[in-house]
Amino acid sequence: MSKSRLELIKEAAEKYKEEQEFKAVVKKVYSRPKNHLTKQVKKAGKQAPGSLECFKEENMYYTEKETQDYLSGTSYMETYNAMKDHDEWN
C-alpha cells in the first residue's frame, strides 16, 4: 500500500521537472516585447476612417448622399413615391 522511497523520489523529481517546464513557458511568454505592433496593424491604424467618437461633428450626421443611397433601395422610398404620386393625381 505505501509507496517505496524510490517511487516517492521519482514522483517528486517528475513534479519538479513539470514545474520547471511551466515556469520556463511562463517566463518566455512574459519576456516577449510589449506594445510591439506589426506593420499591418500600424497601416490599418493610419487608414482607419477617423475616430469613432460620436460627438465629432463629422460623425454626428449623415450626408445627403448617404441618406439617399440608404433610402433608395428600401420600401420606405417606394411607399413615399407611390403616395406622392397619389396625392398629386387627386
List of the chain residues with pLDDT < 50 = none
**The pLDDT of residue 64:** 87
Is the Cβ–Cβ distance between 12 and 18 less than 8 Å?
no
**The pLDDT of residue 20:** 95
Domain presence at residue 68: yes
Provide the CA 15 distance to its chain's centre, in angstroms. 39
Torsion of CA 27, 29, 32, 36, to 10 degrees: -160
Percentage above 90 pLDDT, the chain: 24
Domain presence at residue 52: no
Domain presence at residue 55: no
- Total domains, the chain: 2
C-alpha cell at 14: 517528475
Mean pLDDT score of the chain: 79
Domain that holds residue 82: 60-90
Domain presence at residue 89: yes
